[in-house]
Amino acid sequence: MSETQFILDAINGAYIKRKRQPGMPLRPSSLGACDLKNALLFDAVGRAPRSPESLRVLERGTQRDEAQSQALKEGIDSPVLTQQRLWIPIPEIQGEEAEDIARVLATERVQVRPYGHVNCLWYSGSADAILVALGTEGEDWLLDWKTAGSYGFVLQTEKDGPSEEYVAQLDTYAWAWEIQTGQRPRVALIFESQDSDARKGIVGGELRAVELEPEHTMHVGRLARERMTAVLRAWRRGETFTVKPTVPGPSPQAGNLDWRCCYCDVGPQVCGAWGEVENVGTEKRPKWRQVQDGTL
Question: What is the spatial distance between Cα 21 and Cα 105, in angstroms, rounded to a whole number?
Answer: 12
Query: 99 pLDDT band (50/70/90 cuts)?
Result: very high
Question: What is the spatial distance between Cα 108 and Cα 102, in angstroms, rounded to a whole number?
Answer: 9
- Per-residue pLDDT at 104: 86
Nearest to 110 by CA among 181, 170, 221, 30: 30
- Per-residue pLDDT at 48: 58
Instruction: Please state the domain extents for the chain.
Output: 3-239, 240-296
Question: What is the spatial distance between Cα 66 and Cα 190, in angstroms, rounded to a whole number?
Answer: 13
**Which range, of 7-11, 96-100, 228-232, 289-293, averages the lowest pLDDT?**
289-293
Cβ–Cβ under 8 Å, residues 128 and 144 = yes
Tens of pLDDT, residues 238-286: 765 443 333 333 333 333 333 334 434 433 433 443 333 333 333 333 3
Contacting residues for 118 by C-beta, under 8 A, at least 6 apart: 91, 94, 95
Tell whether domain 3-239 is in CATH 3.90.320.10: yes
pLDDT (average), residues 6-32: 79
pLDDT (average), residues 200-225: 89
The model's pTM: 0.76
